[in-house]
Amino acid sequence: MIQAKYTPVAVGLHWVMAALILATWSIAIVVGDMPLSPARIAGFSWHKWIGTTVFFLVIVRLIWRATHPAPKLDIAVPAWQKKAMELTHLALYILMIAIPVIGWVMSSAKGYTVNYFGLFDLPDLVDQNKNLGHQLKEVHEWLANVLMVLVGLHILAAVKHHFIDKDGLLYRMSFWQHQDGKGAKK
């Protein structure tokens, strides 16, 4: 089945952001338990830089989506699956905004100004407050793990549609063309 595709810009933003989100989460996992060292500081710098980039890109993505609506979904799915898909996508967007913002507020509360690749500093959003910083760290980590669970479900759903349902859904968010069983592009 041929599905209408997202624009190349939307596809590019999707995959770049997916890679950056996985990278920043992985970095946090690796450096989170390291003792204080130059490697730990560098790791958290990269975590913040990538997280800030995700925040900037999600704004670009939301603007793009507002001006370029999603292509029509041309498959029959039960109502509960459609609602689950809609809620999952909404939650993904909310988390892609909330997690970097909470990380930014957390850094401000802990007394660390967020610097973006040495180019500029983001303004501190709150006054220094170590207790608030600790609480926000817990929220930031918990939401990041929720995001990873939703990303996992998103991937599993895409794999199911591609390999089990064979409904061409995965091609909507890809750079390659859908091919029929004989190798002909559609």
Model confidence pLDDT, tens digit, residues 19-29: 999 999 999 99
Over residues 82-99, the mean pLDDT reads 96
pLDDT tops 50 at residue 181: no
Over residues 32-55, the mean pLDDT reads 96
Q: Average pLDDT of the chain? A: 92
Q: What are phi and psi of 7, to 5 degrees?
A: -65, 155
What's the rounded Cα separation, in Å, for the pair 15 and 11?
6
Over residues 55-64, the mean pLDDT reads 98
pLDDT for the residue numbered 73: 85
pLDDT tops 70 at residue 179: no
What's the rounded Cα separation, in Å, for the pair 135 and 27?
21
pLDDT for the residue numbered 119: 96
pLDDT for the residue numbered 150: 98
Over residues 43-65, the mean pLDDT reads 97
pLDDT for the residue numbered 182: 42
Q: What is the DSSP string of 60-111?
A: HHHHHHHHSPPPPP-S---HHHHHHHHHHHHHHHHHHHHHHHHHHHHHHHHT
pLDDT for the residue numbered 184: 42
pLDDT tops 80 at residue 2: no
Global confidence as pTM: 0.91
What's the rounded Cα separation, in Å, for the pair 115 and 48?
8
Over residues 91-95, the mean pLDDT reads 98
